[in-house]
Amino acid sequence: MVSYIDAAVAPLKNTGQVRLYGPEDFEGMQRAGQLTAACLDDLVDIVKPGVTTQEIDDFVYQYGRDRDALPATLNYRGYTKSCCTSINHVVCHGIPNDKPLREGDMVNIDVTYILDGWHGDSSRMYPVGQLKRAAERLIDVTYESLMRGIEAARPGNTTGDIGAAIQTYV
């Protein structure tokens, strides 16, 4: 199955050409991103002690389907889940399962929807109940690092400038 994006980009692959996007393309990107952000917002009420990451995955799937979107991860190279859930020391791409979240856990939930051929991809870290101070600090510092990196991402700057802004803060 070829998606809208694949069909639009295929003629440019390996040609050295860059596809230029118009206003309608940016509107599509924005809608997909807004859907993903809304799902992440609504997960705040779902993430709590006793909830399994499979329940989170089921929520993400249904949330997208109710809004005519598909999770991009579902069936991607054999992956059978609608999101990734990384608990505590799992760096990324944790696989949802039936193990319940515990008080004091941190879980990063990575959601990517395809809406009208456009991908909206984001993730968010959630506290599960009350966190230890070190875990709270980790979330606070990583968030502020993200904000400083975004601030440094402007015309004329390099990726090194972004890294330096983050490193200086950390």
Please, are residues 96 and 81 in contact by the beta-carbon 8 Å criterion? yes
Residues 57 and 76 placed together within one structural domain of the fold? yes
Please, are residues 101 and 20 in contact by the beta-carbon 8 Å criterion? no
For residue 19, what is the DSSP state? P
pTM of the model: 0.84
Long-range CB pairs of 3-8, under 8 A, 24+ apart, other chains included: 3/114, 3/117, 4/116, 4/117, 4/118, 5/117, 5/118, 5/119, 8/117
CATH number, domain of 37, equals: 3.90.230.10
Residues 96 and 59 placed together within one structural domain of the fold? yes
Residues 124 and 164 placed together within one structural domain of the fold? no
Read off the pLDDT of residues 9-55 as tens digits, 9 standing for 90 and up. Answer: 556 677 888 888 999 999 999 999 999 999 999 999 999 999 999 99
Please, are residues 81 and 74 in contact by the beta-carbon 8 Å criterion? yes
Residues 140 and 124 placed together within one structural domain of the fold? no
User: Is pLDDT at 8 greater than 60 in this prediction?
Assistant: no
Query: Is 3 contained in some domain?
Result: no
Query: Is 69 contained in some domain?
Result: yes
- What is the Cα–Cα distance from 122 to 82, expressed in whole angstroms? 13
Read off the pLDDT of residues 108-148 as tens digits, 9 standing for 90 and up. Answer: 999 999 999 999 999 999 999 999 999 999 999 999 999 99
Mutual angle of helices 159-169 and 133-152, in 10-degree steps: 150
Per-residue CA distances from 68 to 10, 89, 105, 131 (Å): 24, 34, 32, 36
Range of the domain at 139: 132-170
Residues 118 and 56 placed together within one structural domain of the fold? yes
Query: Is 31 contained in some domain?
Result: yes
